[in-house]
Each structure stands twice: as C-alpha cells, then as structure tokens.
Amino acid sequence: MTAASVADYRELARRRLPRFLFDYIDGGSYAEVTLARNVADLERVALRQRVLRDVSAIDLSTTLFGDRLAMPVALAPVGLAGMNARRGETQAVRAAEAAGIPFSLSTVGACGIGEVAAAASKPFWFQLYMVKDRGFVRAMLAQAREAGCRTLLFTVDLPVPGSRYRDARSGLNNPGFGGAVQRIGQALAHPGWAWDVGVHGRPHTLGNVAPLLKGRKAIGDFFEWMRTNFDASATWKDIELIRAEWEGPLVVKGILDPDDAREAVANGANGIVVSNHGGRQLDGALSSARALPSIADAVGDELTILADGGVRSGLDVVRMLALGASGVLIGRPWVYALATAGEAGVRRMLKLIEAEMRVAMALTGVTRVEQIDRSIIA
C-alpha cells in the first residue's frame, strides 16, 4: 500500500505496531468524544473557493519566534514517540530539519535531549511538564539550554493523567506481570517492529525521565510514576520558576479558554498552543477548532498563537490558520509516518502536507501565509 494521505499512514502504522503502541498513539480519553470532535469540527470548516486570482507563485514560508520556517508547521511533542521506530525521535528531528520546520521533543520521549541534540544540526524545541521534583524541572531546562533549544513548550493541561481506556485494555499502563505478558505477546505478533525496535532499538527507557525511575524500565513503571509525580498543585505562579531559568521564547501549551489565554499574556508568555492534548485529557472538552477563534480574538494581537488537534492534512493546516493560528503543530500524523517508514516516512508525510497546503491556498486565492485569515472561510 502506497501512502497517499495521513489516513494511509495511520493504517500502515496500525498493521506494523503492537497494539499497545498503536492504541497509545491513536487513542484518547474516556469515550474519545473530544478526539473525534477535533477531527470532525475541523473538517466542517468550509472554505471559500476563489478563481482567476493569479496563484502561480505560492510562498508557504513564515517566521515563528524569530526563526524562518519553510511552512507554518512544527512536529508536536509526543510521549513515547521513539518507541515506534528505532531511536525514533532522532529520525524525526532529521526529517523536520530536511523540511525546514521545528521538531519538538517531549519530556517523556524515548530519546533524551542529548541524544536528539547529537542527531540534530539545528536547534529544536523542547516540551516541559511540571513535576513535583523542581530540581528535575531545573535540570531539564539546563539541559535544553545546553543543547541549543531556543523555544520552550510548557504543557499545562496534564495536572493529572486522563483516563485512557485503550491503554488499560492493551496492557500498556499495567506495571505488573500480566501487562508485560500482554505486551510481549503483541510485540511477537509484529516481527518487523520487534526486530527494528524491540531488538535493535535499545535502550527501552525514557531518556529524560530515566534517572527519576531509578532503574525501573518497564513502560508500565513509567505510567505509575506519571500518576504520582505530575504536579496537580502547579499554578500560574510556577511560571516564575521557568522564567528564572529560561530566557528564550516561552509557549504555554494546553489553552482552551480565552481567560486562560489572558492569564498567559499576563504571566509573560510569548505564545500559546490552543490544544486539548489531542483529546487525551478532558473528554467532552471543546475541540481546538471550536476554541481557537475566540482565543484569537482575545489575545491574537498580544502573543503568537499556535494550535493542534485533529490536523490530518495540509488542508487542515490552512483551516487552522484561517481560524486564527499563526502556526500549527501536528502530532499523530508524524508518528504514524515514523512507525511506517522511519525518517523517510516522516519526510514523505511532510511533503504531502506541503503539497496539500499549496493546493488549498491556490483554490482559496491566497499566495502567502499571512493572507490566510477568516476571509477565506465560507
């Protein structure tokens, strides 16, 4: 099967990956209502088709946080992404660089900051969670600075992990013997993945978090640690700690409400990501597409607005820009492509996104990213 769309990469990833990994990428919380809304609400954004507008020269480039990008897209931080292909985050950062866009490394990626920095030739973005151990937070910020990271994504919508039924059913978040047996059985049923990642993709640890796990290496141990160490007491005041350690652009990720967007402005954020964590936290929450316009109206002149959630094509990127975003993070699509064909898969997927953006812009009569606004929405 030749992948002609993100949906094709999803199907190929489903075939290749053990169930516990595919369901972790693909799933959301509870009944996955918000996960479905993210996709459906974005699809419902109808665009105005325009004709005879001279769209012979289309420019996708833009500037975000002082960096010139080939298109207004970044690879979103995704936990455990590196388990989907051998040392996956190192492959993804190279693909992002080839496409001229940023890669965002998750605090809970399989590869640590140092390993990704060694694979990269340009600065990448780093995503931070607030955990109870503030020493760990400071250490992560120091490592990110030393690695040359210039932009920090501070994720604020995970004070407690969402309840994800698929992860319980697949055995992913079970630290016991039964969960291990489930995962091993699923891995053996997918020999391509087992050989590439299970055998040759070691070490199977979360590079940044490994010191806190104190020798525990099972995936189930990580979920147990996450349930007890993510800090539910964190408030806006904790941004002071981050600002004391971080001089670069600070982007608050996980905003769905205009009042929270105003708080981000008041606390010195340079940007926000309108996001519901890919439908993986509060099920029943607004989709990103529904939340974005009112947030753009509230703070769009005061900081840079990014958005994620439900983006499955370059057409969706254009829709998010029209709704008020200056840039778009894509998560599941790049991990599907990574699982399918590693770095080459991510490169091809980004070429699809670029081509689809060009078509969408041409048929809506715009030639530059800054021309994309609500005037192209029907």
* Span 214-254, pLDDT tens digits: 666 566 666 777 777 788 999 999 999 999 999 999 999 99
Q: What is the pLDDT of residue 215?
A: 61
Q: Is 277 annotated in the active site?
A: yes
pLDDT at 341: 98
Give yes or no for residue 178 having a pLDDT over 90.
no
Decide if 326 contacts 280 (C-beta within 8 A): no
What pLDDT sits at residue 221?
A: 66
Band of pLDDT at residue 300, cut at 50, 70 and 90: very high
Query: Which pLDDT belongs to residue 227?
Result: 75
180 has pLDDT over 90:
no
Q: What is the CATH number of the domain that holds 307?
A: 3.20.20.70
Residue 37 has pLDDT above 80, yes or no: yes
- Residue 5 annotated as part of some ligand binding site: no
Q: Is 127 annotated as a binding residue?
A: yes
Between these two residues, 209 and 278, which has the higher pLDDT value? 278
Is residue 120 domain-resident?
A: yes
Do the annotations mark residue 311 as ligand-binding?
Answer: yes
Catalytic residue among 190, 200, 204, 277: 277
138 marked among binding-site residues:
no
> Are the C-beta atoms of 92 and 142 separated by less than 8 Å?
no
Residue pair 321/304 in contact by the 8 Å Cβ criterion: no
324 is in an annotated binding site: no
Half-sphere exposure (Cβ direction) of 281: Cα atoms closer than 13 Å: 19
In this prediction, residue 207 carries a pLDDT of: 78
Q: pLDDT tens-digit profile of 331-373?
A: 999 999 999 999 999 999 999 999 999 999 999 999 999 999 9
33 annotated to bind ligand: no
Q: Is 312 annotated as a binding residue?
A: yes
Domain-located, residue 139:
yes
Condensed to tens digits (0 to 9), the pLDDT of residues 261-288 reads: 999 999 999 999 999 999 999 999 999 9
Angle at 25 between CA 175 and CA 156, to 5 degrees: 85
Q: Confirm or deny that 27 is annotated as ligand binding.
A: no
Query: For the chain, what is the mean pLDDT?
Result: 94
Residue 360 covered by a domain = yes
Domain assignment present for 207: yes
pLDDT of residue 326: 98
> CB of 73 within 8 A of CB of 330?
yes
Burial string for 142-177 (b: 16+ CB within 10 Å, else e) reads ebbbebebbbbbbbbbbeebbebebbeebbbbbbee
pLDDT in tens, 119-176: 999 999 999 999 898 998 999 999 999 999 999 999 999 998 889 999 989 988 877 7
The H-or-E segment that residue 11 falls in is helix 6-16
The answer as to whether 1 is a domain residue is: no
Residue 59 annotated as lining a ligand binding site: no
Confidence (pLDDT) at 146: 96
Give the integer Cα–Cα distance in Å for 159 and 305.
22
Q: Which structural domain range is residue 216 located in?
A: 6-376
- pLDDT average, residue stretch 179-192: 89
**Residue ranges in 288-331 assigned as alpha helix (H):** 288-299, 314-323
Per the structure, the count of domains in the chain is: 1
User: How many whole angstroms separate alpha carbon 221 and alpha carbon 136?
Assistant: 18
In-domain check, residue 254: yes
In a domain, 168, yes or no: yes
Residue 156 belongs to some domain of the structure: yes
Q: Rounded to whole angstroms, how far apart are CA atoms 171 and 178?
A: 8
